[in-house]
Amino acid sequence: MLTLRPFRDPDWAGVWPVLQATFAAGETYSFPPDIGEAEARKTWIDVPMATFVAEEDGRILGTYFIKPNQPGLGAHVCNCGYVVAAGAEGRGIAAQMCEHSQRWAVEHGFLAMQFNFVVSTNERAVRLWERLGFSVVGRLPGAFRHRRLGYVDALVMFKALATGEARETVYHPPP
């Protein structure tokens, strides 16, 4: 049975190989493909507000972090990164992690969630985030140097979270 729970220190031995394989592929995350373990740990565990793991029978099948996307006056919008272990795709683990992260975000006062850099060729991810209520709100031309495909676009995706609270929002239409 798959369990989503907070990262604990002994989990790192299972988290690091999952991150390393994902980053080394150079197809979905901008982290250097040859990133070192210490740097990866800093990024995934130390800097974020919280990190979670998806565990099944003692194996780490996925992990995600959550943090404010901006400091101060932008800190009501959070940012997450999700990774699923090779061989564990197609089981809905990313979707479960994303829904878990949205609940956690609402509980901690966030009003929205933003993904800054969804690689446009990662079509499975784009479709999944759209199914979960995210919209493409920006497109960064050639911003990702895909290891196989060369320069490809990255997408900015955004979702207002259902917080149950009205908020005063001043929208400014495009000029």
87 binds its own copies (CB under 8 A): no
24 binds its own copies (CB under 8 A): no
d(CA 19, CA 29): 10
162 binds its own copies (CB under 8 A): no
Q: Are 116 and 136 in contact (CB under 8 A)?
A: no
The CB-side HSE value for 45 (13 A sphere, CA atoms) comes to 18
| Size of residue set near its own copies by CB under 8 A | 54
Q: Which of 30, 88, 99, 132 binds its own copies (CB under 8 A)?
A: 30
Shortest distance, position 18 Cβ to its own copies, whole Å: 17
49 binds its own copies (CB under 8 A): no
- Indicate the residue among 101 and 114 with the shorter CB distance to its own copies: 114
d(CA 169, CA 92): 34
CB-based contacts of 32: which residues, under 8 Å, 6+ apart?
A: 23
Chain residues that interact with its own copies, rule: CB under 8 A: 23, 26, 29-33, 35, 69-77, 111-112, 114, 116-117, 120-121, 126, 136-147, 149-154, 156, 158, 160, 167-172, 174-175
